[in-house]
Amino acid sequence: MAGHSHWANIKHKKAAVDAKRGKAWSKLVKAIMVAAKHGGPDPAANISLRFAIVEAKGANVPKDTIERAVKKGAGELGGDSFESIRYEGYGPSGVAVIVDALTDNRSRTAPDLRAVFSKYGGNLGATGCVGFNFERRGVIAIEEGKVAEDRLMEIALEAGAQDVQHEEGGWIVITAPTDFLAVKDALDGAGVETASAELTLDPLNTVSVAPEDAAKLRKLIDALEDNDDVQKVYTNLEAD
C-alpha cells in the first residue's frame, strides 16, 4: 500500500527490539528516567511518565526494571542526567528525517549524528527545517483477528480516537496526543490486546524515492537507531 504505513514501521521497530533487545530496553528505560526526573515518580500525575511506561510495557520491559528506572529518575537511587534534543535533517533524495535523542553530552551526540547522516548520503540540517511536515499523534496497533471491526470502532471512537484504519496486518487507531492514554485505557479495559502503542510523528506529506535510495535510507535509519543516544527516528518516506 502506498502512503505512510504504520504497520511497516511497527514491524521494523519490533525486529530491532528482537535483534538488540538490551539496547532497545536501555533506551526505553532512559526515557522513563528522564520523565520521572522532570515530572515526578507518580504516573497518575506525570503524563510523560505514563507515555514512557506504556511504550516500555509494549516492548516487554520487565516490571521491576520499569520500577527501578522510575526510582532512579526521581533521584531515589541516583543516576545520570540526560537532556532531550531533537535533530532534523535530510536523507537520500531529500527525504525528511527527524531524530529524537536523550544525551548526557550534546557535544558528543551532534557530531556523531552528523557523521552518520553524511556516511549514508544525507545531511544534518537546522532546527525546524523539516519539522513543519510532521504532526504528533497517538498510534495504537491491534493485530488482525484480535477484535471485531464494529467492536473496535465503538470502543476507540467513544473514547476519543480520531480514526480507525485498516492496514495489511491489522488495525491502526489514531488519536490526538491528549486522547492517547484515554483510548489506550479504554481498549485495555475492554480486553483488547494491542500490538503496540506510542506517541509518534506522522508526516503530513510523503515522498517516493528510487529503490536504491530507499535502501540507503534504511541503512541511515538503522545506523541512527544503533546510536545509544537516539530514541526515535521519523521520516516521510512513502511506504510500499
CATH assignment of the domain containing 53: 1.10.10.200
Q: Does one domain contain both 67 and 101?
A: no
Question: Three cell numbers at 139?
Answer: 498510534
Question: Three cell numbers at 105?
Answer: 553530552
Of 41-50, 71-80, 108-117, 197-206, least confident by mean pLDDT is 71-80
pLDDT digits (tens, 9 = 90+) for 93-126: 999 999 999 998 999 999 999 999 999 999 999 9
* Average confidence score pLDDT of the chain: 90
pLDDT digits (tens, 9 = 90+) for 35-56: 999 899 999 999 999 999 998 9
> What is the helix (H) or strand (E) element at residue 39, kind and residue range?
helix 21-39
Number of domains the chain is built from: 3
> What domain range includes position 230?
83-126+208-235
Hey, how many other C-beta atoms are within 10 angstroms of the C-beta on 197?
Answer: 23
Q: Does one domain contain both 120 and 212?
A: yes
